[in-house]
Amino acid sequence: MKRVFITLLLANYCLWSLGQGAAALKLVDKDGWTSYLQGNIPLVISAPHGGTLNLSEVPDRSCEGAVTVTDSYTKELAIEIADYLQKSNGKNPYLVICNLIRKDIDQNRDLPEATCGESSMEAPWLAFHEQIDEAIKEAVAQHGYCIYIDLHGHGHPEQRLELGYMLSDKELTELYEKKNVPAKQHSLSNFLARSKGSLQLYDLLFGPNAFGTLMAKEGFPSVPSAQDPYPQEGQKYFNGGYNTRRYTGVNYPQVIGWQIESNMRGVRDKAGRPVFAAAFSKVILQYMEQVAAIKK
């Protein structure tokens, strides 16, 4: 009886999930852990922390360093972007959305911390990451490159997008002031390699065509950008996590990407989502033209 009830509950949840927005999301697995949208442009967006499906049989994650807070409305924001691109341009980004609550699994961590040792959560972790891998490989095969965005939400006081390129606030400051290029790997390394010296990291972070600069011009303040190059002393800032590092790293040489930590007011809230989706779509299509213009 209990099993029937859970199955019915899950079926209802899945229907509700599919009913969010017009995007033709499908569930990757029968359990409803991950939703997927098939794309037709070289843009893959993952939303790892917006899920609300709480599995009662899975204990809340409590291992050392575990963060369990939900990035509310990031799932809805990803779907809003897909809907906008579809309606206005007939284009579909790839979406990979985690439906499970972060108390059960963290889809922006390597396996041990993601599951806190709960073996039943290994399959959802694999399902999510295999789907990102598949989307990226398909996009790269068809277009020769791919932009990867890991979409999150922050609760910091500064109402701005925090763009994580795997560069710390100190590294951004130094780069801006000294125009020093850090020798380390960051999430735009593949873009620089693709440009064969014609682009500088400084320009990709602070220049007129940097993603942050373009978003700020559309009314969405961003750090880093020409307008707000680096976080000031004492300001909180997320600079990218496991997914950004993994999917823009050496195993994905055609992928250019970054983490977006979005603020709530005017971005993730109900009034903000359609406005943000329109601005993001305009800017990311412009950005894709920049990448495509560089002939391999």
Residues that bind Zn ion (CB under 5 A): 49, 71, 152
Decide whether 129 or 194 has the Cβ nearer to Zn ion. Answer: 129
Give the chain as a DSSP string.
Answer: -HHHHHHHHHHHHHHHHHTSSSS--EESSTT--EEEE--SSSEEEEE-S---B--TTSPPP-STT------TTHHHHHHHHHHHHHHHHS---EEEEE-B-TTT--TTS-HHHHHTT-GGGHHHHHHHHHHHHHHHHHHHHHHS-EEEEEEEE---SS-SEEEESS--HHHHHHHHHH-PPPSS--TTHHHHHHHTTSS-HHHHHHSTTSHHHHHHHTT--EESSSSS-SPPTT-------HHHHHHTSTT-TTEEEEEEEE-IIIIISTTHHHHHHHHHHHHHHHHHHHHHHS--
Strand order from edge to edge, sheet including 94-98: 26-27, 34-37, 94-98, 43-47, 146-153, 255-262, 161-164, 222-223
Cβ 102 to Zn ion, closest distance in Å?
Answer: 8
Nearest residue relative to Zn ion (C-beta) = 152
Task: For residue 6, give both structure tokens.
Answer: 């859970």
Cβ 75 to Zn ion, closest distance in Å?
Answer: 11
Decide whether 14 or 96 has the Cβ nearer to Zn ion. Answer: 96
Decide whether 101 or 226 has the Cβ nearer to Zn ion. Answer: 101
Decide whether 44 or 201 has the Cβ nearer to Zn ion. Answer: 44
Cβ 249 to Zn ion, closest distance in Å?
Answer: 19
Cβ 247 to Zn ion, closest distance in Å?
Answer: 15
Cβ 178 to Zn ion, closest distance in Å?
Answer: 31
Decide whether 109 or 194 has the Cβ nearer to Zn ion. Answer: 109
Decide whether 153 or 229 has the Cβ nearer to Zn ion. Answer: 153
Buried b (16+ CB within 10 A) or exposed e, 66-84: eeeeebbbbbbbbbbbbbb
Cβ 152 to Zn ion, closest distance in Å?
Answer: 3
Decide whether 70 or 235 has the Cβ nearer to Zn ion. Answer: 70
Asked if 161 and 260 count as a contact pair (C-beta separation under 8 A), the reply is: yes
Cβ 184 to Zn ion, closest distance in Å?
Answer: 23
Decide whether 71 or 83 has the Cβ nearer to Zn ion. Answer: 71
Cβ 238 to Zn ion, closest distance in Å?
Answer: 8
